[in-house]
Amino acid sequence: MKAIEQQSGQQQIIEQLFAGKYRDPFSFLGMHRVGEITYFRVLLPNAQQVTILDRFTATPVIQLSQIDPRGFFSGHIASLDKNFTYILQINWGDTQQVIEDPYRFGTLLSDADTQQNFSFEKLGAHLRQLDDISGTHFCVWAPNAQRVSIVGDFNFWDGRRYPMRYRPESGIWEIFLPAISAGTRYKYEILDANGELQFKSDPYAFRSQLRPDTTSIVSPLPQKRYPTKKQAQANQRNAPVAIYEVHLGSWRRTQDGTTWLSYRELATTLLPYVKDMGFTHLEILPISEHPFDGSWGYQPLGIYSPTSRYGSPQDLIDFIDEAHRQGINVLLDWVPGHFPSDASGLANFDGTALYEYADPKEGRHRDWDTLIYDYRSPEVRRFLADNAVYWVERFGFDGLRVDAVASMIYRDYSRPDGEWIANEYGGNVNLEAVSLLQHTNELLHQIQPDTLMAAEESTSFSGVTLPPSLGGLGFNYKWNMGWMHDTLDYLQLDPIARKFHHNKMTFGVMYAWSENFILPLSHDEVVHGKGSLLRKMSGSPEQKFATLRAYYGFMWAHPGKKLLFMGGEMAQWREWDHDGQLDWELLDIPTSPHAGVQRFVKDLNFTYRHTPALYDHDHHPESFEWLIVDDHDNSVFAFIRYAANGDALFIVSHFTPVTREHYRIGVKTAGEYQIVLNSNAHIYGGNDAQDTASVTSQPIKTHGCDHSIELTLPPLSTLYFKLKSPLKHTRLASKQK
């Protein structure tokens, strides 16, 4: 009777295995010793015959009986050596094959592994060497699944063949597959909590197929990278930071214009260009694998997988290494705020809302129709925070720009009343998201203290760049979206109307030191019908170019680090087109106004980098002083920037299309003032109305100063001056407060 019951129980398990519904295959398949008897059980659909061979001698030990014609084999033998190891010889009918049995290997994942390591060091697909056996260890978190199998070409994408071992204490499924090497394609076949079958990409895949394919690819975990002192210094608040923001797929294309440049091709084209233009940092739009080109990477499907559009993960590492060799720091646009609901991705991963908030009032973005991560979940928090570490530590990125922070930290972001859920205190702040950002910034700065973390945060949330110990979010910099909107609004006005909105250009100074700011003219300002930066400027074409140059001059002198999206440096007429490339033909004529703007941006960058007054005291109010702040009628602004050692640069911006002669401005020190930069110079496309290279002060009081200079202000222009030589025996006026 007992034998009959055992046989009946075994048949039930066999049926469950063939149905793909058996949760604990390692307890049944493989080799199991009971007393002096050793049992072998093998599930190999479509196999004709299976023989157990001694692994070291290849000697046949036992031919297994075919218990089920669908491909289940079993057999037992007495008095087998306790150290016996085996391989399987399989007869498929027309061919024979000898393989390792995945079910003879014990668990490779300990409790400590899941707690003490970064999650990406264990989860996903990891190439492993067990004694003399090479293979891949697969791990995936799916605690509510009924069964998870690894599938690929190696098992005909048949989820019955390699069901994984379940670890109930962690919710992780694992299996070691011998002979699976780098480049192998795979997915997880999941029998989910609802009994539905799903095919999922690996959340921790280090490489993926090119869209529309969503298959994961076994790829080695990159080695750790360490920044040099030069890279670390370039990120500091007292360093010049001029960022060139780039979408890799549309900066430039191949000769026929239809294909992206590879990381290798970009290393020989984009990087020399960034260096020649004088930018200190390159920021690239998100490159985590994403299914839709039109999302520009902001709807990532595999956040551990560099998109295959431009090459391999190693190609990306080589690209970043080359940037560092050329003295360029590289920043990555990072998206922890949402993810698309594609069936192959994280959505409803094991039949439950595993990665996302379950309630749509918390878990769905109305603006983008995407899902929001469950920031309460410890596993999801590790998934995200460790991903930030992954990009910095394993690829060598010098920092991250965190996308859409406001959408993360406000529960009512873009939601009407009744469509959002308050926090535990009744407020609208997402406390879990705030905690995650604080933890991520602290974690990164513990590992690499000089990592540059920048927040795209569009509200007045307090303390974005304060350390978490003081209640802040822990970022190094915050994008100054208010400054950007105000100044662009001002410059779109007819010059006659600008005098009524003078404060739009001055208001930014009122809060310039409330955070550590980056002044961004980003991709968001040149898409979706907003027009290019050049088109935003008012007036005739000539006036548009002049206004844009004057604006750039004002921006580079204003407190805050700088960011410009590609195409802005050549004053494109067209909006950015992610399916094309920049309008490089605009630069074919060296005397074109487009080439003039490009030369001006280049000279701005090098002037900025070589003038400490513009950057080394940037984060202190003492670095800035208004001289003329209230000349509404003439739309003139004049201010001084001070270096930490007191060296000064004098800036005048004028935003009307008329020449203003005999314009007098007070100066702190009597002497000869040399023009450092003139946005209206002929070389930049202007008419060079300011025809003198220097001007000497006179003992005429104005603007609270004992001395002043008289200028001819060109229309729509910005001028930089520095004191060339002070006059002797003059009394320096006290600094205006």
Beta bridge partners of 72: 43, 68
Instruction: Quote the strand ranges of 655-693, DSSP E.
Output: 660-667, 671-678
Alpha carbon 550 to chain centroid, angstroms? 31
| Owner of token pair 């960058």 | 605
CA dihedral 298, 303, 308, 314 (to 10 degrees): 130
Annotated catalytic residue within 456, 486, 515, 625: 456
Helix (H) or strand (E) holding 113: helix 111-116
DSSP 417: T
Torsion of CA 92, 96, 98, 102, to 10 degrees: -10
DSSP 705: B
> Catalytic: 417?
no
616 in Cβ contact with 644 (< 8 Å): yes
Please name the residue that has the structure tokens 């000898």: 98
Beta strand 72-78 with 96-99 is unpaired
- Parallel, antiparallel, or unpaired for β 399-402 and 452-455? parallel
DSSP category for residue 379:
H
In DSSP terms, 152 is beta-bridged to 186
Q: 192, 350, 398, 403: which one is catalytic?
A: 403
- The dihedral built from the CA positions of residue 135, 136, 137 and 143, taken in this order, carries a sign that is negative
Tokens, residue 263: 């990381």
- Return the ∠ at Cα 339 (arms to 532 and 348), rounded to 5°: 155
Q: Tell me the three state secondary structure of residue 301.
A: coil
3-state SS string for 163-183: ECEEECCCCEEEEEEECCCCC
- Measured distance CA(261)–CA(269) in Å, rounded: 9
Helix 481-491 × helix 503-510 angle, to 10°: 170
Q: Residue 79: what residue type?
A: S
624 CB-near residues (< 8 Å, 6+ apart): 509, 512, 559, 639, 640, 641, 642
Identify whether the C-beta of residue 705 lies closer than 8 Å to the C-beta of residue 668.
Answer: yes
d(CA 637, CA 627): 8
**Residue 374 annotated in active site:** no
Residue spans of beta strands (DSSP E) within 251-402 = 281-284, 288-289, 302-306, 329-334, 364-365, 370-371, 399-402
Nearest CA-CA partner of 678 in 669, 666, 690, 668: 690
Given a contact cutoff of 8 angstroms between Cβ atoms, the answer to whether 560 and 240 are in contact is no
Write phi, then psi, for 19 (nearest 5 degrees): -80, -10
Are 546 and 716 in contact, with CB atoms under 8 Å apart? yes
CA-based nearest residue to 211, from 313, 284, 295, 109? 295
Q: Which residue has the tokens 């569009």?
A: 458
Instruction: Pull the structure tokens for residue 612.
Output: 């400490």
Question: Any idea which residues carry the catalytic annotation?
Answer: 403, 456
